[in-house]
Amino acid sequence: MKLTTVILAAGRGARMRSALPKVLHPLAGRPLLAHVLTAARALPNNDVYIVYGHGGAQVQSAFAHESEIHWVHQTEQLGTGHAVAQVLPHLVDPALVLVLYGDVPLISTDTLRLLIQAANHHTLALLTVALDNPTGYGRIVRDVNGSVLRIVEEKEANDVIRQINEVNTGIIAVSAAHLRRWLTQVQNNNAQGEYYLTDIIALAVNEQITIKTFTTQKTQEVLGINDRVQLATLERYYQQQQVEQLMLQGVTVLDPARLDIRGHVELMGEDVLIDVNVILSGHNRIGSRVQIGANCILHNVTLADDVEILPHSVLENTVVGQGCVIGPFARLRPGTVLADQVKIGNFVETKKITVGYGSKINHLSYIGDSDIGQKVNIGAGTITCNYDGVNKHKTVIGDGAFIGSDTQLVAPVTVGAGATIGAGSTITKDAPAEQLTLSRSSQVSFARWQRPEKKSS
């Protein structure tokens, strides 16, 4: 049977109290729905349908870059059964339908695989979980032999059924042909006036279809997000899982509770050390013996072996060569590419620059749109004036150049190899290689000068 995943994401998520649709709230930097999509996508030959409704345009545009999603609009949220029914006209039998929830982000592909392997024309596969506090969930009602009879929603349950702590996760795998038949029979004469998907279980039992249950031991993988407290709780759980993975791969994390990973960390070596309050977002690649100091934020960064990032540094879309030392308080903006053994010191901002082997920009500089050679020394307070208010211009500095402190390099400008620029210069024309260039008003002193004295009143 062709596999089709239906992700229900039409609900409003009122308890989030948010203008943002619930499924777009981020967990580890990605929308809840994106996590579900990733789990579904890992199943081969899978057509993915998303049932959307509330905040529809916003949800769709957040996933505009994702091809091969089938969007199905549920104009009115009449219940989970009604939501799934919206997809059925699009499916060709025989098909197997896997139902997921846009607000249950941590469902694992392994669990889904178990369900779809078990489901067929004679068997419906149902994922359940045992909860200490089952309040709010649909309860799994079994007969004396342990066979599932039906699911009873909290609002329909009597006191005996409320005692059952095995609950419906909502995740099922079932043949589309059966669904078509059963969903036309499901009524909405219940406490919520909704078409409950869960009512199909009793219909299936009635037709002698086997209900095969899987009970997950990992409660977190089936937890749904209804409010921001649950979102934060699941975020902490997920972060802990990720950080543990990293530690097991050989990274020392000084405080596992104070490292957040919002994306993917690609370890290229071992013995990495990460100090407290670090955020790694996007795709970061980290080599051996890299040390990341406290309070650093790294986004889409590649760090070669032996790089040291000192505290309070922010790096974005940057490549850092072997043995470089960055910070403290450095800001490396997109397009910064550093060769090996480069030093970028405190209060230095860089953007769209290449820096050659062994060069140093140690203090209080802004260097943008520049190509800097090897073994260049850029003195404190050097500024590339790369922007004339309309266009950006380039600065080129040759190998071995020495730029004196407080220099302004008015781009476009080239400083030749081995050139020296006198401190305090405003360089508006190319500076020749190997020569001293400076622009500075000459200094005068007045020997007989007297300080003014305060007048007595």
Is residue 154 within the footprint of Ca ion (CB under 5 A)? no
Work out what residue 171 binds among Ca ion, ligand UD1, none; the CB cut-off runs from 5 to 8 Å by kind: none
- Considering the complex, state which of residue 82 and residue 299 has its C-beta at the smaller distance from ligand UD1: 82
State which residue, 194 or 316, has the beta carbon closest to ligand UD1. Answer: 194
- Binding letters toward Ca ion, positions 170-209, x by CB under 5 A: ----------------------------------------
Taking the least distance from each CB to ligand UD1, the nearer of 27 and 403 is 27
Residue 151 binds ligand UD1, judged by CB under 6 A: yes
Binding characters for Ca ion, 206-225, by CB under 5 A (x = yes) = ------------------x-
| Catalytic option among 54, 312, 363, 393 | 363
Q: At what angle do helices 32-41 and 109-118 cross, to 10 degrees?
A: 50
| Catalytic (active site) residue 264 | no
Residue 373 found at the interface with ligand UD1 (CB under 6 A): no
**Least distance from ligand UD1 to the Cβ atom of residue 23, Å:** 7
**Exactly one of 170, 287, 293, 379 binds ligand UD1 (CB under 6 A); which one?**
170
80 in a known ligand binding site: yes
- Does 74 engage in binding with ligand UD1 (CB under 6 A)? yes
Which residues in this chain contact Ca ion in the complex, by CB under 5 A?
A: 224
Question: Would you list which residues are annotated within the binding site?
Answer: 8-11, 22, 74, 79-80, 101-103, 138, 153, 168, 226, 333, 351, 366, 377, 380, 386-387, 405, 423, 440
Q: Which residues are catalytic?
A: 363
Question: Would you list which residues are annotated within the binding site for acetyl-CoA?
Answer: 380, 386-387, 405, 423, 440
